Amino acid sequence: MTGAPGVTRAPRATGARAQAVPAAKPRAAAPGSRAATRPAKAASKATKPNRSTLATVWDSPLATYYLVAGVTATLLGIGLVMVLSSSAVTQIAKGHSPFGVFLQQAQYALIGIPLLLVAARTPVRIYKRFAWVGLLGALALQCLVFVPGLAHEVGGNNSWVYLGPLRFQPAEVAKLALVVWLATVLGRKQRLLGQARHAIVPAVPGALLVIGLVLVGKDLGTAMVVMMLVIGAFFVAGVALRVLVTGVGIGGIFVWQLFLNGNSNRGGRISVLLKGCDPNGANAQELCYQTIHGLQALGSGGLTGVGLGASRQAWGYLPAASNDFIFAIIGEELGLLGAGLVLVLIGLLGYACYRIVRRHEDPFAKVAAAAIGCWIVGQALVNVGVVIGVIPVIGVPLPLISAGGSALVTTLIAMGVLLSLARTEPGTADALAARPSVARRTLGVVAGAGRRSRGGPVASGRKPQPGRKAHRGRERAAR
């Protein structure tokens, strides 16, 4: 087709040629104009964190697993630091090394951590298979507190066993064995627990046997913790509410009578608790001594505390500063923030147990997680209640923090059981299998660091280029 004279139009490109025609470049926006600021705004929106990211991570199948592992490691680290800080001065006053109690606690931690890893890798079916054996073994160990020559009384409680250099509290082992046994028994009979006789036999006689042996050893604090874990196991298992309420009422009356009539010291502590502790009263140097100094330690810490190692109450004023009353030293040296952090971590551990109960499909896992949660959280609340003066003084350590070998090792094993349960949550096994192994990731990091240090091609992220001689050789071959 022709147009005006002397002007020829180029034919329209069709097919592949039409696709090859470059598009016209957009005009650059003037600096400072609204169009110029649009890319920057888009980039800033892209860099903002997604609001649903945290919810996605929190709902991940691995959240429970990492939550249990992270909280356990953090509480253990805080405990080791605070044991050293609260015991160094008293150890020096006794003529011992300031690191004596700390090194002993560190040894127990080194014993408990491998056992935690073994428990975390143990399949759930193994726990079910050896539940009865574990309970019978724990009862046999508990009976050793009545054997002359082996049993020793500490703090008015006949709950320690000395087997040569080995010293431990059998009641701590009994708590863990009872958790696994109750989970096995109640899990198998879950559909029949609506009937009273199936709910009572054999779970109630087994639990009462453990509680009775602990009470005969005069360890009322541990017996209260055992009662709490039993209540948690029965509640989650689905025992009839009337049976559960009746049991809780009878147990509460029994514990109250033990407090009042067990011995004069416990009765005096109850009366002092009801009347209040007067720092200038007659009981200031007797029944109220620990409570008064514990409150003084908490009150003097303020928001951020007086600093690690700067506690005044740890200079022999506060008895059991490194074990039963270590929370008071935490409040004094780390302040409200440090004490609040410990409580938040304990709460997160309880939430992890709640996640297992809600997400897991196995009744054994549900009951075991509930029992361990009531054990750890309940024991922590009892310890804090003693320190702040709302519960009479009883010997209950703060889990994973207080000094004490058998309590620390047993609690670490219980955390391993929780990790084993968390590994079997729906979707968790596949998510763990999809991760690269730790050894592979470590070797990859080391290899990459080695190449970068030698100035290899990995440092720039580009493929190696052939040298000048190689290029000339290729050109000659092409000719």
Q: Encode the chain (479 residues) as per-residue pLDDT tens digits.
A: 444 444 444 444 444 434 444 444 445 555 545 444 455 444 444 445 555 566 677 778 889 999 999 999 999 999 999 999 999 999 999 999 999 999 999 999 999 999 999 999 999 999 999 999 999 999 999 999 999 989 888 877 788 999 888 889 999 999 999 999 999 999 998 888 878 888 888 999 999 999 999 998 888 889 999 999 999 999 999 998 888 898 888 888 888 777 766 555 666 666 666 666 766 666 656 678 888 899 999 999 999 999 999 999 999 899 999 999 999 999 999 999 999 999 999 999 999 999 999 999 999 999 999 999 999 999 999 999 999 988 888 889 999 999 999 999 999 999 999 999 999 988 887 888 887 655 455 445 545 555 555 555 444 444 445 555 444 555 555 55
The two three-digit tokens of residue 184, written as one number: 């096995």
The model's pLDDT over 203-224, given as tens digits with 9 standing for 90+, comes to 999 999 999 999 988 888 899 9
pLDDT value, residue 452: 56
The model's pLDDT over 397-429, given as tens digits with 9 standing for 90+, comes to 999 999 999 999 999 999 999 999 999 988 887
Whole-model pTM: value is: 0.80
Kindly calculate the radius of gyration of the chain based on its CA atoms and give it in whole angstroms: 33
Name 166's bridge partners: 163
Helix axes 131-142, 170-188, angle to 10 degrees: 150
Q: How far is CA 262 from CA 207, 225, 385, in A?
A: 21, 18, 21
Domain ranges in the chain are 61-426
Quote the CA–CA distance of 21 and 344 in Å, as a whole number: 64
Quote the CA–CA distance of 217 and 223 in Å, as a whole number: 10
Buried residues in 36-74 as b, exposed as e (16+ CB within 10 A) = eeeeeeeeeeeeeeeeeeeeeeeeebbbbbebbbebbeb
Q: Pairing mode, if any, of strands 166-168 and 157-163? A: antiparallel
Which residues have a Cβ under 8 Å from the Cβ of 277 and sit 6 or more positions away? 283, 284, 287, 288, 291, 292, 389
Of the candidates 290, 325, 375, the residue with the CA atom closest to the CA atom of residue 86: 325
Quote the CA–CA distance of 414 and 108 in Å, as a whole number: 15
Do the Cβ atoms of 227 and 187 come closer than 8 Å?
no
Q: How far is CA 39 from CA 23, 32, 35, 42, 45, in A?
A: 21, 12, 8, 5, 10
